Amino acid sequence: MGEIFTGMDQIMAAFADGDSWMIREALREPGAWTLGLILMLLGGVIVMLMYRYVPFIERHLESYTMVVSYLTIGGIIFFGVIQRFVPGMLGMDFTNTPQWLRPWAWTTSLPPFLFLVMTWVGCTYNVKLRTHLSFNEFRANMGRHAQMALLTMDALLWMGFSWVVVVTGSRVVANAASNFQIVPATDGLMQWWFILAVPLSFVFLVARVMENWLQDLGNYRSGNALIEQAVIGGE
């Protein structure tokens, strides 16, 4: 039993010092899993309460993040295409091409990191809308007890997946930070700033899972329908 909590004090001390190398080493301890579970559940509760008391954030946080990330990716790629082809079409060579029209190498390295943010925030948004794979056609024909049991199983599985991602994702973030990994072709734009979106997204996902399960529990007790057809992009 003692091994479960081994290293928890080292992890907290490393975060208190703000030393990325110490954090990376401390996260290798077995206690990282216990501490990760505690912080994930606590973070999920805090985010859920924030959603409850700040409806604007609850309604728009994921969608705005996805849209901004998507438009930024599109804008970078579009401008990168202009930089690569317009000067040639106008007969310019490198010496007489304006600086802003010369290709920037980071236009091919930054979009994948923005896509990382968009993808996992989008995963959280789909959990909110229940548009993930759930086999509702089969569940709709089951009894209420079986439906509630499967919905509870869904919640536990999502939390289990999130637990793994939060802990392992935090290790990847710490490793990137301790090695001072920057986004290729940029000057000082750190990779861990974007990778951090992965464990954070799954904490927000846990909040959505908690919200959904509490709603399911309320429907179960009141006799309302438990399984409803979800619509992608609907609210």
Minimal CA–CA distance to 207: which of 32, 35, 61? 61
Q: Domain spans of the chain?
A: 2-222
pLDDT-based confidence at residue 231 (cuts at 50, 70, 90): low
- Category of 142 on φ-ψ map: left (φ > 0), alpha (ψ -120 to 50) or beta: beta
Q: What percent of the chain has pLDDT over 70?
A: 86
Average pLDDT over residues 132-139: 74
pLDDT-based confidence at residue 93 (cuts at 50, 70, 90): low
Count of C-beta atoms within a 10 Å radius of residue 234: 9
Beta bridge partners of 182: 190
Cα–Cα distance, 218 to 222 (Å, whole number): 6
pLDDT higher than 90, residue 166: yes
Lowest mean pLDDT among 36-40, 46-50, 119-123, 140-144: 140-144
pLDDT higher than 70, residue 2: no
Count of C-beta atoms within a 10 Å radius of residue 158: 20
Lowest mean pLDDT among 52-61, 63-72, 92-101, 203-212: 92-101
The DSSP 8-state label assigned to residue 217 in this structure reads H
What is this structure's pTM?
Answer: 0.88
